[in-house]
């Protein structure tokens, strides 16, 4: 009998309108439903302006879905509704259960690779010494143990993104959210980072949601959610459910 994997993320009726000025409103999301199972590697694809980044920000608790103008939005992370959480609780949840990788790496320039990774541990409430040890381990996973004392500007783009990857993984989060993680890298470095992501997903069962408009990146995922004009246009399953 086929067993349905547990849903790590469940979203219903996600809408988001940005009011840039009184007359200029952008309906970035117009009612999105989706489910992402634990251990899945999912790509969200679509042209720019399709709402994929907005969706990612809402899933990552960086933004909230609009409550007015339609049916009430629902967002459950690992089974618990997050809609009513305060900023503090959301921040806490981000630190404890999620990791983020951005297109432009977003490392703190004054911190070394090790300190950048350890910071995420400290924000999740890990003592400084332990966070440092965990950061060292995480840098090992991405093959950068040797470069731990370098600052971002002393690292190549690919290395910086691997540090960012180590940072997103240091708390061993349930969910890793990556926004165009290979967008600033050449194809060889892209391949390297992508293989790493794939390996974390395969070997450690790390759930991955990544936003991309690169079809090759999408092609390595289990599932692709295609978006257009703030709506899910279609879902493409690349690998059969286990």
Partner 1 sequence: MRLLRQLSRRKLRTTLTILGITIGIWALVVFSSMANKINSLVAGGSEYFTGKILVTDATNFAVGAGIAPMNISAADQMRELDDVAAVDAQIQMIYDPEASQGFGPAEFLLGSIAGSDEGRETFAFTPVQGRLLTPADEGSNVVVFGSDLARKQNAKIDDTVDIRGESFTVVGILEPTLTAPDTMAIIPLQAAQQLMAASLPQSIRDAISADELISQVVVYPKPGVDDAELAAEIERDVDNVQTLTGAEFDEQVGAFTGVFNAIIIGVAVISLVVGGLSVINTMAMSVAERTREIGIKRAIGGSRRRIIRELVTEAAVIGFIGGVIGLVLGATVVVLANEAGRSSGTILFELTPGTAIFAVSFSTILGMIAGVIPAWSAARLDPVEALRYE
Residues that bind partner 1 (CB under 8 A): 57, 60, 62-63, 87-88, 91-92, 94-96, 98, 100, 102, 106-111, 115, 119-120, 123-124, 151, 167-168
In the complex, what is the shortest distance from the CB of residue 242 to partner 1, in angstroms, rounded to a whole number? Answer: 31
In the complex, what is the shortest distance from the CB of residue 223 to partner 1, in angstroms, rounded to a whole number? Answer: 25
Indicate the residue among 17 and 191 with the shorter CB distance to partner 1: 17
DSSP string over 159-182: HHHHHHHHHHHTT--SEEEEESTT
Indicate the residue among 91 and 145 with the shorter CB distance to partner 1: 91
Question: Whole-angstrom distance between the N-terminal and C-terminal Cα of the chain?
Answer: 12
In the complex, what is the shortest distance from the CB of residue 22 to partner 1, in angstroms, rounded to a whole number? Answer: 19
Indicate the residue among 11 and 177 with the shorter CB distance to partner 1: 177
Cβ neighbours around 221 below 10 Å, total: 26
For the stretch 129-137, contacts whose Cβ atoms lie closer than 8 Å and that sit 24 or more positions apart, written own/partner, are: 131/170, 134/170, 134/171, 135/166, 135/167, 135/170, 137/170
Indicate the residue among 53 and 220 with the shorter CB distance to partner 1: 53
* Phi, psi (deg, nearest 5) at residue 199: -65, -45
Indicate the residue among 121 and 218 with the shorter CB distance to partner 1: 121
Indicate the residue among 7 and 85 with the shorter CB distance to partner 1: 85
In the complex, what is the shortest distance from the CB of residue 13 to partner 1, in angstroms, rounded to a whole number? Answer: 21
In the complex, what is the shortest distance from the CB of residue 235 to partner 1, in angstroms, rounded to a whole number? Answer: 25
In the complex, what is the shortest distance from the CB of residue 46 to partner 1, in angstroms, rounded to a whole number? Answer: 18
């Amino acid at each position: 009998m086929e067993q349905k994997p547990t849903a790590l993320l469940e979203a219903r009726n996600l809408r988001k309108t940005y009011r840039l000025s009184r007359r200029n409103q952008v309906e970035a999301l117009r009612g999105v439903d989706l489910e992402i199972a634990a251990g899945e590697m999912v790509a969200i694809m679509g042209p720019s302006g399709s709402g994929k980044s907005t969706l990612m920000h809402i899933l990552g608790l960086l933004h909230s879905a609009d409550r007015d103008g339609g049916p009430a939005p629902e967002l459950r992370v690992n089974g618990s509704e997050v809609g009513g959480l305060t900023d503090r609780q959301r921040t806490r949840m981000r630190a404890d259960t999620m990791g983020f990788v951005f297109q432009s790496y977003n490392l703190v320039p004054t911190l070394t690779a090790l300190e950048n990774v350890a910071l995420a541990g400290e924000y999740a409430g890990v003592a400084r010494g332990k966070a440092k040890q965990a950061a060292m381990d995480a840098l090992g996973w991405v093959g950068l143990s040797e470069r731990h004392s370098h600052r971002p500007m002393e690292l190549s783009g690919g290395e910086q993104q691997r540090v960012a990857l180590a940072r997103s993984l240091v708390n061993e989060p349930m969910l890793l959210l990556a926004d165009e993680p290979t967008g600033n890298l050449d194809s060889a470095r892209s391949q390297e980072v992508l293989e790493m992501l794939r390996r974390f997903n395969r070997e450690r069962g790390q759930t991955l949601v990544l936003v991309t408009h690169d079809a090759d990146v999408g092609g390595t995922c289990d599932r692709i959610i295609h978006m257009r004009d703030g709506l899910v246009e279609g879902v493409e399953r690349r690998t059969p459910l286990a």
